[in-house]
Amino acid sequence: MKKSTKTLLVATGVLGVMTTAAIVAYNKTSKALMKLALHREQPKVAMSDKSKEILTGSKELSELLNKMMEASAKLEEAECETVELTAHDGIKLVGHFRPARDPKRIIVAMHGWRSGWSMDFGMISDFYYENGCSVLYAEQRAQGESGGDYMGFGLLERYDCYDWVKWADEHNTYKLPIYLAGISMGASTVLMTSSFDLPESVCGIMADCGYTSPHDIWKHVAENNLHIPYSIYSGTVKDFCEKNLQIAPDAYSCPEALKTCRVPVIFVHGTDDKFVPVEMTYENYKACASPKKLFIVPGAEHGTSYLVDKEGYEEAMLEFWQDNDGVII
């Protein structure tokens, strides 16, 4: 055998081993990313504060979590009625209804990704309660006590949210105005729900730091926070979603839903959000066909607008309710 031929065969063999190793690594990374994004069971590596800081781009996550946990514990101690319903695909959904002493409106509240009803709304719950808001705090599918193995980043949750809205409307004894509220993934959930044929009692939507679509947010986090090229994983992501969610990650978006929205929307976002960039709220706002308002908080990171500017946030919500209570679509 010629030396050149032998060298070529050796090089080809080495290249084959390297390619196989690369494919194995790629498959492992793809599965890990999809499990982190969508599966109920969270990978242990993603549970540390350091991992969460890298993922969200937040530098003050630990301090924020401590405040949120204190408020969460307080809300869980409040008197709430546990509510259950069956989703369109047979999954059990759980919610917690906290009636106000002097009810003026009802809020259907949707929490964010890998969070919880009391964690995301604990900080603002007293404000809601003291201002006559009876709140249905829903637990998103594949999180908390609700059933399901996979989260849908709003693609599936919009149907759940619509079911909760119908529940609130059916139990609306005093014919109060109903609002949808969401933070992060919950914000995108309520924005995607805006395209449904909502009950006439729905008077508005409050969306805090929502993204435009699952595809957009995954691409942003992968490339900007994790520093990995999303393009090489997008095919696997699409296949995974179509197999487990029965829908493609780019099949629907908030801008698409908002083009047919008929209820007023207030969009909230912090300028320093590295997890969901404020530009996504600007894009959602631009697409919204209904009456709309922006409340942008300078210096606020992801989901911290209420903490950074509590007074301004509350003033914006009170004004939004005053403008829209009793307005029928």
233 within some domain: no
223 within some domain: no
151 within some domain: yes
The enclosing domain of 139 has a CATH number of 3.40.50.1820
Question: How much is the pLDDT for 193?
Answer: 98
Instruction: Give the alpha-carbon dihedral of 25, 27, 32, 35, to 10 degrees.
Output: 180
Please tell me the distance from the alpha carbon of residue 253 to that of residue 272, in angstroms, as a whole number: 23
Query: How many distinct helices (H) and strands (E) make up the chain?
Result: 12, 8
53 within some domain: no
User: pTM higher than 0.75 for the full model?
Assistant: yes
Q: Please state, as a whole number, how many other Cβ atoms lie within 10 Å of the Cβ of residue 212.
A: 24
108 within some domain: yes
The helix or strand, by DSSP H or E, that contains position 94, with its residue range, turns out to be strand 92-98
What tens-digit pLDDT sequence spans the chain (329 residues)? 555 544 444 444 443 433 444 434 445 666 677 788 899 987 665 555 555 565 566 666 677 788 899 999 999 999 999 999 999 999 999 999 999 999 999 999 999 999 999 999 999 999 999 999 999 999 999 999 999 999 999 999 999 999 999 999 999 999 999 999 999 999 999 999 999 999 999 999 999 999 999 999 999 999 999 998 888 888 888 999 999 999 999 999 999 999 999 999 999 999 999 999 999 999 999 999 999 999 999 999 999 999 999 999 999 999 999 999 976 54
237 within some domain: no
Domain count along the chain: 1
How is residue 146 written in tokens? 């609700």
49 within some domain: no
Question: How much is the pLDDT for 44?
Answer: 62
- In what side-by-side order are the strands of the sheet with 265-270? 81-86, 92-98, 133-138, 105-110, 178-183, 202-208, 265-270, 292-297
- State the pairing for strand pair 265-270/92-98: unpaired
106 within some domain: yes
Q: State the residue range of the domain holding 84.
A: 59-213+252-324
Please enumerate, as own/partner, the contacts of 238-247 that have beta carbons within 8 Å and a separation of 24 or more: 240/30, 240/34, 240/38, 241/38, 241/155, 241/214, 244/38, 244/149, 244/150, 245/38, 245/150, 245/152, 245/155, 245/156, 247/152, 247/155, 247/156
Measured CA to CA in angstroms, residue 10 lies from 7, 24, 176, 322 at distances of 5, 21, 76, 76
Please tell me the distance from the alpha carbon of residue 129 to that of residue 135, in angstroms, as a whole number: 8
Question: How much is the pLDDT for 3?
Answer: 53
For 2, half-sphere exposure in the C-beta direction (CA atoms, 13 angstrom radius) is 3
Closest by CA to 115, choosing from 136, 142, 143, is: 143
Question: How much is the pLDDT for 32?
Answer: 76
